[in-house]
Structure 1
Amino acid sequence: MNTQTDKEEQLVLELLDAVGKQSNVSQRHLASNMGIALGLANSYLKRCIRKGFIKISEAPANRYLYYLTPKGFAEKSRLTTKYLAYSFAFYRQAGKSCIDVFNKCEMRGWREILLYGMSDLAEIATLRAQERDVEVIGILDPHTERHRFAGVPVWHYLSQAAPYDVCVLTELNAPLLSYEQLLKEIDKERVLIPDILRLE
């Protein structure tokens, strides 16, 4: 889900899903689960109430209970279907894009691949690499606290990374900015961009 509308629909889906699982959920908990600010969670909650997706009732101790309405269940189902269709399409397209990159690597004799950016694309790349004569040696990502992802090490600085032949960009949140940062540390000839990122 890449457009602003897609991102908003994903947040609505997360909100409807959370309310569907637990009616006495607090707005602070909703915001934390959705990874957004409390004010934004409140705004999405009010929007869902206005659209008739969620019903609110007061509980003791100044608390509120939130319930999905039949209209809310229908919207949750619609958004889930849309999200799954998008996910399958993304997985297929990303897999093909990774194979194209690995073909280029094999043609140039590059076997050791460093990924830049811990993401769904990085996870797909590690899986597709197992079908080829290449090896993902790890992932470089300065924005995470994790040390492993998709079965490979994660490094926060290039100086920590194992020796590699080429770096493949797998950052999904800000690919252009990440690419520009990457070129400050790695020669352009040694950076490959999957076409799913649409930077070339």
Structure 2
Amino acid sequence: MLGLLTAVDQDATLTQRGVAARLGIALGMANAYLKRCIRKGLVKVSQIPRRRYAYYLTPQGLSEKTRLTAEYFSNSLRFFRMARVEYAELLNTLSRRQAKRVAFCGVSELSEIASLCAGEAGVEVAGILDLAETSIKSQVGHLVVSDVRALGVFDAILITDFIDGPASLEKLQAVLPAECILAPKMLGLSTRAAGAVME
């Protein structure tokens, strides 16, 4: 909803197809969201030449966009704080257990946060495993690889994939001992299955 209101606010001549492309959603979904915004009084529509429509935000729409933006940043900050606390706890526990090198599984904001926490805990980062096989070669100064063997020796691997954590966990369990696979509680993965039984 925030993305749609922002897109309309930035370009009143944006078509439904343009909204869909900008938000990365299907045209039918863009149509449904626009209709919903029009029904709620957040967006007005007027016809312009050549059977096209112009969309613009109403005062209520501008107010809702401001509210959603504030909510988004509040949630983002809360997410960052929660991730930082949980990865710090995992990495500090590993450090106390004499772990020297860890790896991360998943290129995301979580791997960036976990990397900061690793530095604070005095644990070296072996690299980041990218099971989605994107074209990213490094993140925050760490090598990104698509094969776990390319990471070399490490004591534990922390899941930092918040898009598809369960699939990452399953793939890791097929090639690594369960006790070296850890995941923060916020990902909602079974800590027993992930070997993340922390004292």
For the aligned pair, the TM-score class normalised by the smaller chain equals 0.7 to 0.9
The 2-side partners of 1:159 and 1:59 are apart by: 59
Please state if 1:184 is matched with 2:177. no
**What's the counterpart of residue 134 of structure 1?**
123
**What's the counterpart of residue 92 of structure 1?**
81
**What's the counterpart of residue 4 of structure 1?**
none
> Cα 1:153–1:81, aligned 2, differ >3 Å: closer, same or farther?
same
1:60-139 superposed matches below 5 A: 60-139=49-128
Q: Return the TM-score normalized by structure 1.
A: 0.86
Equivalenced residue count is 189
**C-alpha deviations, 1:176-200, integer Å up to 9, x for none?**
2321221011111111111222323
Moved more, 94-103 or 58-67: 58-67
One-letter identity of the residue aligned with 1:79: L
SS of the aligned residue for 1:130 comes to helix
SS of the aligned residue for 1:183 comes to helix
**What's the counterpart of residue 48 of structure 2?**
59
**What's the counterpart of residue 147 of structure 2?**
157
Larger Rg: 1 or 2? 2
Structure 2 unmatched runs, 5+: 192-199
The 2-side partners of 1:50 and 1:152 are apart by: 48
Please state if 1:32 is matched with 2:32. no
One-letter identity of the residue aligned with 1:188: A
Percent identity reads 40
**What's the counterpart of residue 11 of structure 2?**
22
The 2-side partners of 1:42 and 1:158 are apart by: 43
**Coordinate RMSD, CA, aligned:** 1.7
1:162 Cα deviation from its structure 2 partner = 4.0
The 1-side partners of 2:147 and 2:24 are apart by: 25
The 2-side partners of 1:151 and 1:38 are apart by: 38
**What's the counterpart of residue 2 of structure 2?**
13
**C-alpha deviations, 1:122-175, integer Å up to 9, x for none?**
121112222220122322122223222233222222233343221101111222
The answer (yes or no) to whether the contact 2:156–2:182 under 8 Å persists in 1 is: yes
